[in-house]
Amino acid sequence: NSFNRMTLDLQASQAALKETNLELKLTSEENERRRRYMEIVLGNVAAGVVSVDGEGHLRTINKSAESMFGLKAEDVLHRHYSEVLQTNHMEIAGKFTEMHQITKQPTMQRQVRSLVGNRLMTLLVTVSILHDEEGQYMGIVVVFDDLTELEKAQRMAAWREVARRIAHEIKNPLTPIQLSAQRLRRKYLRRFAEDGKVFEDCTRTIINQVDELKLLVNEFSNFARMPAASLSPNDLPEIVKETISLFRESHPSTTFAFEQQNPLPMLDLDRDQMKRVMINLLDNAVAAVDGNGEISVHLSFDEILKIARLEVSDNGPGIPAEDKIGMFEPYFSTKEKGSGLGLAIVSNIIADHHGFIRVRDNQPRGTTIVIELPGGSRKSGKSVTELA
């Protein structure tokens, strides 16, 4: 009887153990399914998400956060956040700590502008403090919403309104001022004897300065009423070569080189606007080399990414790092008489073409503007190199 009872007890224990193991297995599988589901959710969220445990080690970083900050999960996970954050980001983290100490709120949110790599970004940062059921501190979750493009669009809209008003207010009196100066020259220039030269110089200065103001007002007007791009299949190499030909004729002391690495497809472009892009970029490059240097234009097409890449390089003095951050914003200029709208207009046009524009240093010296545009399917052009 004792043996039978032991056998029955053993069988009952084994059954209970199997049931427990099955429950553990099911629980483990459910936890794994939840973990995979959360990974999929986080991987497809546009916002950057980072979690830090109670000891300050990074436990989660989604793909958006990796892309946003130029990080790789395998390089930063399980490391202390102080080893990963840049100095300026540590200052931002310190401000959130101060905010929590003052407000004691479990969730804090603020908009920050921060340099990430060489890009100035506007981020809406939300920090949530994590506690378990017993109220023990477990860490934090930080969500980053990239507002850079939204803020840029809002600034552009505001600048356009400013440009429209300035153009309207300045343009009206310019013509009568110029006509009056011209009339004074015609009527009174011969009547002056000793002061004739002074009178002529003064009236000529007025007329010339009015002409310059008119050019500036036209730039304001063009920026304010920039039309939406009218896209149709176009041959980008043809547009580029046409523009280079114009500059070769007007700037004979400057060397212009054109290289097309491989055939390009026909691209959906606004021909007039893309020509304006090329004129602006080449005009800036000519100014950078002071009319006597080398400018190269390189075209290529990435068959895998389906991206057309246009690079305009000069061997001028280059652009300081601090100026690169805002060079595509309105009213940025390194020219004495520049309106500061050229690159802003270029940036708007490229955005309307669903493309990207950026700046990098040319080697060994100078500047390169890189434009990337979405590609099509029909091939155009051929591999070619030109030098003049």
> Tell me, what DSSP letter sits at residue 85?
S
pLDDT on residue 384: 40
Structure tokens at 192: 């002056």
pLDDT at 258 over 90: yes
Distances in whole angstroms, Cα of residue 56 to Cα of each of 53, 64, 126, 138, 140: 5, 21, 17, 10, 9
pLDDT on residue 1: 64
Give the residue with greater pLDDT, 6 vs 366. Answer: 366
pLDDT at 265 over 60: yes
* String of DSSP letters for 99-161: HHHHH--SEEEEEEEEEETTEEEEEEEEEEEEE-TT--EEEEEEEEEE-HHHHHHHHHHHHHH
Residues 6+ positions from 157 with CB-CB distance below 8 Å? none
Average pLDDT over residues 102-130: 85
Place of tokens 């009213």: 331
pLDDT at 379 over 80: no
pLDDT at 45 over 90: no
Give helix 148-188 / helix 196-224 axis angle, nearest 10°.
Answer: 150
The answer to whether residues 353 and 229 touch, using CB atoms and an 8 Å cutoff, is yes
Average pLDDT over residues 332-348: 73
Point out which residues pair with 76 in neighbouring strands. none
Where in the chain does DSSP place strands (E)?
A: 48-53, 58-61, 107-116, 119-131, 137-146, 232-234, 255-260, 264-265, 267-269, 294-302, 307-314, 356-361, 367-374, 379-380, 384-387
pLDDT on residue 150: 82
Average pLDDT over residues 231-242: 94
pLDDT on residue 116: 81
Reported pTM: 0.54
Q: Which amino acid is at 254?
A: T
Lowest mean pLDDT among 172-181, 217-226, 265-274: 217-226
For residue 322, name the pLDDT band (cuts at 50, 70, 90): confident
| CA atoms of 353 and 349, how far apart (whole Å) | 6
For residue 376, name the pLDDT band (cuts at 50, 70, 90): low
pLDDT on residue 57: 92
pLDDT at 334 over 80: no
For residue 331, name the pLDDT band (cuts at 50, 70, 90): low
Average pLDDT over residues 143-151: 86
